Amino acid sequence: MDLHTVVVVLAIVAPFFFGTIWATVNVAQKDFGTLGKKAMWLFVAAIPFVGFIIYLIFGMRKGKIPAD
Res 60: pLDDT: 87
- Tell me if 3 is assigned to some domain: no
Q: From first to last of the 68 residues of the chain, give the pLDDT tens digit.
A: 899 999 999 999 999 999 999 999 999 999 999 999 999 999 999 998 899 999 999 998 888 988 86
- Tell me if 33 is assigned to some domain: yes
Q: How many residues in total does the chain contain?
A: 68
Supply the pTM of this predicted model.
0.85
Res 67: pLDDT: 80
Q: What is the number of domains present in the chain?
A: 1
Res 1: pLDDT: 82
Question: Coil, helix or strand for 63?
Answer: coil
- Tell me if 1 is assigned to some domain: no
Instruction: Note down the domain range covering 52.
Output: 15-68
- Tell me if 22 is assigned to some domain: yes
- Tell me if 5 is assigned to some domain: no
